[in-house]
Amino acid sequence: MENHSFIEFKKERDLGAIINDTFAFIRENWKSYFSAIIKIAGPFILAGSILMVVILGYYLGVAGEMAGMVNSSNPNDMFGLMIPMFGWIGLMVVVFMLVFIMVSLTSLYYIKSYIENNGEVNIEDVKSNTYKNIFKFLGLGILIVLMIGFGAVLCYLPGIYLWVVLSLATSIMVFEDKSVGESISHCFVLIKEQWWNTFGVLLVVTILVNILGYAFSIPAMFYDLISGGTTIGSNDPTEIVKALNDPISMGLNIISFIGKFVLSSITLIASVFIYYDLNEQKNLTGTIEKIDSLGQ
């Protein structure tokens, strides 16, 4: 039986409709959707958030030590503090990519289950498909990062172009069950003559999601401002570092990171609407399915 609040994905939409339906989907399904994100990807999000706060605290500590060594006669002491930072950065990149993959997989397979069951989502299927395809998406994620990174080196513009094009890759892999190479090559087919429209939707949704994400940062910002204000007059930089690195501040920042990670999945929902819009323009998949269903 079809759900009366069911939102049809497989149809053409203009820019405004894609943005409206993205937030309409969240409004209608927020409880089930975010519950699935937290249940399946939550442990990874929590671990990633804790790691980011720990690394931030580590950097603050190193910054305090380096500030105290400005007049040191031995510059090797400062380099000795900087070298381990690169290892922490590498670890953070790996963990962040894993968190993004888990959130992406959960979000996309949630939508796939939603579409296949007319608005009813089987969470166990979502969980099973998410864990089953981690390594496949990891390969796709690494390749996308390398391509966008290489494009960014070439004066940024190629990187922006590839970011928009490759935003469709995850949807293609999930909804068409294609390989990594096929998903990437198909992105360029779908996006042809529609790059600017796609860029416009992604830009608007990204800005809106970032604005919403800042709401989670407000408690941490106020607390850091108040606690940091007590040491503003201090000439010892380590005192300021300690004020910004206490357990309450770390806890609030962990909550902030978790909120931002969860909200980032809204951009993925918009990318699915974009994918189906472009796919309908090129292949009329949704229209053909409706005709077939009428025939039955």
The answer to whether residue 5 sits within a structural domain is no
The answer to whether residue 48 sits within a structural domain is yes
Q: Are 126 and 106 in contact (CB under 8 A)?
A: yes
Three-state SS for 294?
helix
Residue 76 is predicted with a pLDDT of 56
Neighbouring residues of 65: CB distance < 8 A, sequence distance ≥ 6: 81, 238
- pLDDT exceeds cutoff 80 at 55: no
Neighbouring residues of 175: CB distance < 8 A, sequence distance ≥ 6: 108, 112, 272, 275
Q: Name the band, by pLDDT with cuts 50, 70 and 90, for residue 100.
A: confident
User: Which residue range(s) make up the domain with 249?
Assistant: 15-295
Q: Name the band, by pLDDT with cuts 50, 70 and 90, for residue 225.
A: confident
- pLDDT exceeds cutoff 50 at 284: yes
The answer to whether residue 2 sits within a structural domain is no
- pLDDT exceeds cutoff 70 at 81: no
pLDDT tens per residue across span 228-247: 655 544 445 555 555 556 77
Based on the structure, what is the number of domains in the chain? Answer: 1
Three-state SS for 70?
coil
- Residue 121's CB is within 10 A of a number of other CB atoms, namely 20
The answer to whether residue 119 sits within a structural domain is yes
Average pLDDT over residues 179-193: 92
- Provide the whole-model pTM: 0.82
Tell me how far apart the alpha carbons of residues 256 and 49 are, in angstroms, rounded to a whole number. Answer: 8
- Residue 281's CB is within 10 A of a number of other CB atoms, namely 12
The answer to whether residue 109 sits within a structural domain is yes
The answer to whether residue 262 sits within a structural domain is yes
Q: Name the band, by pLDDT with cuts 50, 70 and 90, for residue 132.
A: very high
Tell me how far apart the alpha carbons of residues 99 and 142 are, in angstroms, rounded to a whole number. Answer: 13
